[in-house]
Amino acid sequence: MIKFDYLANSSVEVRQTVCKRIEIKMLEFNLFKSSRMNIDPFQCRSLKISSWIYIILLFLSIIILSIFICLDISIENKIIKNPSLNSIKYLQKEYSSSIKCPCNQISIRHNTFISILPEFHPICKSLLISDEWINALSIPSSYSRRDLSNDIFLEGSKFFLTLKSFCIMRKTIVLDELFIFNQSLLINNELLTENELIY
């Protein structure tokens, strides 16, 4: 039993001695030894601190580099020639931030990919602005104006003639602008998403 206590005490002493030596070595650790170290205590302390900063930074650099290598994010470039509309939509959905789709042709007329059919007010397509209706509303020469003072025949033809001219003018303006729009070019060097094209 006495021997056992002695061995336990000696292993504790050995452990303490090793810890003391490690502590002393760490306190005296200096990678940047200088001839002035023995003379200047401040210089000695500065060099020891510099050594520890160097070791810590080296250790952190190795950790960061290891993490970067482990997370190895590889960038893979794939070229797809003449992709279909479905594959373009899929790729834009999955890789919206990194997809690049250069155009073979940087300008294209609007009428090649968009079709606009204007709809006019139903009155502009009705019989109310037809020549037959307007002529039917004209006052016959056999009636006197005094007899038709409260009748539509008095001012009706003028009203529907004005309405007809508004419809013709509106139709002409819309169709002219539509022609100009269809002939104008969309210029872009990369493929646009539907949202970019609409807005």
Judged against a pLDDT cut of 60, whether residue 144 lies above it is answered with no
Q: What is the pLDDT of the chain when averaged over all its residues?
A: 79
pTM of the model: 0.49
* pLDDT on residue 7: 47
pLDDT digits (tens, 9 = 90+) for 161-197: 999 999 999 999 999 999 999 999 988 888 887 777 7
* pLDDT on residue 139: 61
68-82, 120-134, 143-157: segment of lowest average pLDDT: 143-157
pLDDT digits (tens, 9 = 90+) for 3-59: 444 445 567 777 778 878 877 777 676 766 666 556 677 777 777 788 888 888 999
> Bridge-partner residues for 108, per DSSP?
186
What's the CA gap between 37 and 32, in Å, rounded?
10
* pLDDT on residue 180: 94
Contact (Cβ atoms closer than 8 angstroms) between residue 190 and residue 108: no
Contact (Cβ atoms closer than 8 angstroms) between residue 103 and residue 88: no
Domain boundaries, the chain: 2-70, 102-198
Helix (H) or strand (E) holding 107: strand 107-109
* pLDDT on residue 131: 87
The strand pair at 185-187 and 107-109 is best described as: antiparallel
pLDDT digits (tens, 9 = 90+) for 99-130: 888 888 888 898 888 888 999 999 998 988 88
Task: Measure the CA dihedral 85/86/91/96, to 10°.
Answer: 70
Mean pLDDT on 67-71: 82
DSSP 21-42: HHHHHHHH--SS--GGGGT-HH
Contact (Cβ atoms closer than 8 angstroms) between residue 137 and residue 155: no
Judged against a pLDDT cut of 50, whether residue 1 lies above it is answered with no
> Bridge-partner residues for 186, per DSSP?
108
Query: Environment class of residue 61 by beta-carbon count within 10 Å: exposed (0-12), middle (13-18) or buried (19+)?
Result: exposed
